């Protein structure tokens, strides 16, 4: 097979992706053409049919799944192998991809060597199929021409049949095994699961379990040492895992650094747990590669082979869910699947879908909680707190939806919206002379927003549009923010300082920042977490850590704000400790802007 004769079509709407794949494949002797959508792809195919298609899922108008189905339905392109390449790595995405007709699925970011290997394998597979068709055609010709010489014809037929069997076995091996490790691939693993499920339904004594193993921080190896070292490590991991299993068990490379294990004829879940522990111990020993020594741990999800499952894919899905729970609990451990986890995953998926709609429909509200000066007892500032007015549920509090919004990348839009809304509210009250011009507003920003290059521009725009004084806008960030790329964060905070925007460290005492870091950041105030305020009454003799926190703030030229003040006793204690400001339910719970302005107009004093 001459590589220069092979024509590859790449369908991807991102020019950067097209350029990278074009240049790399072209260097390996392939003719490469590019399409950014379905129309371009069909035009190219009508000009000249490609030998293989690389297809991205995230295509506008018609996504990759639909494009794949259309290509498989069109007679001229139905036999062209299609490989999906996508950032989507969920089980459902990959199953949907294979159901649409693709032959392979590569998760981005990918190792180009793996992409090249898979392209070569599927081109060889296609070539082998063509050889089989040609061979069959030649066989029919020989039979017709040599009907009089039956013995010779039979011998030729036997030789040809043997050759065809060899090719078919080779094709089957390519289709069902991972080219890098030689292990069973996802297709074969799902088939094995299906057989195990059917056997368990027929034989009550037959028991099995599914393990989903994912390497912890494998990406660090690829990024630091290169993909060739990563591939070498994957092969070593596969061999080490195999050494812990019996000949009756099935080890599969599902993709990337994910492995599936089918344990058959086991006595119970404890047997699966013992094997998982053995695998973790085995992986904890350093891998001595050709040039490096690498340490690697893994997280394992265990799912018992219940016959209640309708499809084998669901068995693997729930093992994957258990693996993700193991990662969230600290990695380098196993976790057994509980049906409650599936319901939680479904609820999280629903929450994420609802959140996307909430951003589009602007279903969020801003509530305000007063901050009190302990020297005057009057309200000197408000903290803006977001709430979600869900269309079918009660008011949803941030603790339920903020983590999900950060995970799916919606937190920046929500943060900017809250900032805009809070500043517009204060500006409106000021214009109507309902509040004193010195009243400020505090807004809590997520750490993710600090990595937006246009954050300062956004804030400048909001200040200019609402015409509020920059010193009346206070930015709150959690203690953990300064621990992540603190040099970059410090640069952003210095811009706030130049704009005369006061900075408040929120939840002080709950993170892991050092005082040396604190010295180097331009904070104006420390907000003492409510958990420490609550402990003051439980620790009457030494008042807990609150006095030390107030002292730290004052020694650094900052003011101290106590959160979660709920009783007159706590208020009196804070005043005795010379705390500057306080907020909490003793003064007011967070209120919508209509009720908050009513409270401000009464000029309360505590």
| Per-residue model confidence (pLDDT) at position 140 | 81
- pLDDT surpassing 70 at residue 333: yes
Which pair of tokens denotes residue 388? 């979600």
Say whether pLDDT at 1 is over 50: no
CB neighbours of 352 closer than 8 A, spacing ≥ 6?
404, 407, 408
CA distance 139 to 130: 14
For the chain, the average pLDDT equals: 88
Q: How far apart are CA 207 and CA 49, in angstroms?
A: 49
pLDDT at 3 over 50: no
268-288 pLDDT, tens per residue?
899 999 999 999 999 999 999
Nearest-Å Rg of the Cα atoms of the chain is 32
Contact (CB, 8 A) for 34 and 18: yes
DSSP-derived pairing of the beta strands 440-444 and 473-478: parallel
The CA-based angle 150-155-159, given to 5 degrees, is: 145
Instruction: Give the number of other CB atoms < 10 A from CB of residue 401.
Output: 23
Domain layout of the chain by residue ranges: 3-176, 186-337, 350-601
**Phi-psi map region of 251: left, alpha, beta (phi>0 left; psi -120 to 50 alpha):** beta
Tell me how far apart the alpha carbons of residues 342 and 364 are, in angstroms, rounded to a whole number.
28
Q: Which residues pair with 208 in a beta bridge?
A: 264
Query: For the domain with range 3-176, which CATH number is right: 3.40.718.10, 3.40.50.2020, 3.40.50.2300, 3.40.50.1820?
Result: 3.40.50.2300
Mean pLDDT of 540-562: 86
Backbone angles phi, psi at 96, to 5 degrees: -60, -40
CA–CA gap between residue 381 and residue 502 (Å, rounded)? 12
Protein fold of 186-337? Alpha-Beta Plaits (3.30.70)
- Superfamily of domain covering 350-601: EAL domain (3.20.20.450)
Q: Which residues of 65-98 are buried (b: 16+ CB within 10 A; e: fewer)?
A: bebbebbeeeeebeebbbbbbbebeebebbbbbb
Return the structure tokens found at 403.
């983590």
> What is the Cα–Cα distance from 295 to 504, expressed in whole angstroms?
40
The per-residue pLDDT for 511 is 60
| Higher per-residue pLDDT: 280 or 175 | 280
Span 185-238, pLDDT tens digits: 999 999 999 999 999 999 989 999 999 999 998 988 888 899 999 999 999 999
pLDDT in tens, 72-93: 999 999 999 999 989 888 889 8
Specify whether the CB–CB gap between 117 and 174 falls below 8 A. Answer: no
**242, 238, 237, 304: which is closest to 269 by C-alpha?**
304
Which H, E and C letters describe 270-324, residue by residue?
Answer: HHHHHHHHHHHHHHCCCEECCCCEECCCEEEEEEECCCCCCCHHHHHHHHHHHHH
Q: What is the mean pLDDT of residues 291-318?
A: 92
Residues 95 and 57: their CA atoms lie apart, in Å, by: 13
Residues 115-142: b if buried by 16+ CB within 10 A, e if exposed: beebbbbbbebbeeeeeeeeeeeebeee
- Distances 283 to 43, 132, 242 between C-alpha atoms, Å: 50, 43, 11
**Predicted confidence (pLDDT) per residue in 368-403, tens digit:** 999 999 999 999 999 999 999 988 888 888 888 888
Give the pLDDT confidence score for residue 130 in this predicted structure: 86
Nearest 10 degrees: CA dihedral of 429, 466, 410, 455? -140
Query: Largest alpha-carbon pair distance within the chain?
Result: 116
Rounded CA-CA distance 38/70 in Å is: 9
């Amino acid at each position: 097979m001459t590589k220069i004769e092979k024509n590859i079509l790449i369908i991807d709407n991102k020019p950067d992706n097209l350029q990278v794949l074009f240049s790399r494949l072209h260097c390996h002797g392939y003719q490469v053409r590019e399409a950014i959508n379905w129309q371009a792809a069909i035009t190219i195919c009508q000009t000249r049919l490609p030998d293989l298609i690389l297809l991205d899922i995230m295509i506008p108008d018609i996504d990759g799944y639909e494009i794949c189905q259309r290509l498989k339905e069109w007679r001229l392109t139905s036999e062209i192998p299609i490989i999906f390449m996508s950032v989507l790595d969920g089980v459902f995405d990959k199953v949907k991809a294979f159901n649409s007709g693709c032959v392979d699925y590569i998760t981005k970011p990918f190792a180009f060597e793996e992409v090249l290997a898979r392209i070569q394998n599927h081109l060889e597979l296609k070539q082998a199929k063509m050889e089989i068709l040609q061979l069959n055609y030649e066989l029919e010709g020989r039979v017709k021409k040599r009907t009089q010489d039956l013995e010779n014809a039979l011998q030729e037929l036997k030789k040809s049949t043997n050759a065809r069997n060899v090719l078919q076995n080779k094709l089957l091996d390519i289709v069902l095994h991972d080219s890098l490790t030689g292990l069973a691939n996802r297709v074969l693993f799902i088939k094995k699961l299906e057989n195990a499920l059917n056997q368990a339904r027929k034989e009550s004594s037959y028991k099995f379990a599914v393990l989903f193993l994912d390497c912890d921080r494998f990406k660090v190896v690829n990024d630091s040492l290169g993909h060739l070292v990563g591939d070498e490590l994957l092969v070593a991991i596969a061999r080490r895992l195999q050494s812990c299993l019996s000949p009756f068990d099935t080890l599969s490379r599902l993709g990337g650094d994910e492995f599936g294990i089918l344990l058959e004829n086991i006595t119970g879940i404890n047997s699966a747990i013992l094997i998982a522990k053995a695998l973790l111990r085995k992986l904890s020993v350093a891998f001595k590669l050709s040039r490096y020594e690498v340490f690697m741990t893994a997280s394992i999800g265990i799912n018992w082979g219940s016959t209640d499952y309708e499809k084998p894919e669901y068995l693997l899905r729930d093992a994957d869910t258990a693996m993700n729970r193991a990662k969230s609990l600290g990695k380098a451990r196993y976790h057994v699947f509980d049906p409650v986890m599936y319901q939680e995953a479904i609820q999280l998926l629903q929450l994420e879908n609802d959140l996307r709609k909430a951003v589009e429909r602007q279903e969020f509200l801003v509530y305000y909680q007063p901050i009190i000066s302990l020297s005057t007892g009057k309200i000197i500032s408000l903290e803006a707190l977001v709430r979600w007015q869900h269309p079918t549920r009660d008011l949803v509090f941030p603790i339920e939806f903020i983590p999900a919004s950060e995970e799916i990348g919606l937190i920046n839009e929500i943060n900017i919206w809250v900032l805009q809304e809070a500043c517009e509210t204060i500006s409106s009250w000021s214009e109507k002379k309902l509040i004193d011009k010195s009243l400020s507003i505090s807004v809590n920003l997520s750490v993710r927003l600090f990595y937006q290059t246009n954050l300062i521009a956004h804030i400048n725009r909001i200040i200019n549009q609402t015409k509020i004084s920059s010193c009346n806008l206070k930015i709150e960030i959690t203690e953990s923010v300064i621990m992540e790329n603190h040099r970059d964060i410090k640069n952003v905070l210095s811009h706030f300082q130049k704009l005369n925007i006061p900075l408040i460290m929120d939840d002080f005492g709950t993170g892991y920042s050092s005082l040396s870091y604190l010295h180097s950041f331009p904070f104006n105030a420390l907000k003492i977490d409510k958990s420490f305020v609550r402990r003051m009454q439980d620790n009457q003799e030494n008042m807990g850590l609150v006095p030390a926190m107030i002292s730290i703030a004052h020694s650094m030229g900052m003011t101290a704000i106590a959160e979660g003040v709920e009783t007159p006793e706590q208020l009196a204690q804070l005043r005795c400790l010379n705390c500057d400001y306080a907020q909490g339910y003793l003064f007011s719970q967070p209120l919508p802007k209509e009720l908050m302005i009513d409270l401000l107009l009464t000029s309360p004093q505590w």
